[in-house]
Structure 1
Amino acid sequence: MGPKNILIIILLILPFIGFAQLAPPSPSPGPPPPPPGLPIDGFSGALLALGVIYGVRKKYKDSSS
């Protein structure tokens, strides 16, 4: 292993050592945690509404025959 290979290895390893260092802790605490429970976003609300509509239609269709 010549001096050229050692120089290449050092130049490749130094950036990884810099990226691997831990970041200092932030001075301010993070945002508050979200409230407990499942969040209901637009997609979940649409699925819930479609399920209710499907159930009501099926119930009326079965009861009318």
Structure 2
Amino acid sequence: MKYRILFTLTLIISFLTELVMAQPALPASPSQAPIDGGLGLLAAAGGAYAIKKLRDKKKKQDEGLDL
């Protein structure tokens, strides 16, 4: 009886150590890169900068006509 319990515990421990030492699988590569976060903020900042430049240009042209 002792031998059977000892053998069973040895098997369980050996299987558990194999599970602990196993390497995880490689992550699946995404099919497309997500466009969010920093890239969205960069696009919004670029649009705001372009609008500011256009307004400044129009304002400068309007000031030149008033003289």
User: Structure 2 length as normaliser, TM-score?
Assistant: 0.42
Higher helix proportion, which one? 2
User: Structure 1 length as normaliser, TM-score?
Assistant: 0.43
Structure number with larger C-alpha Rg: 2
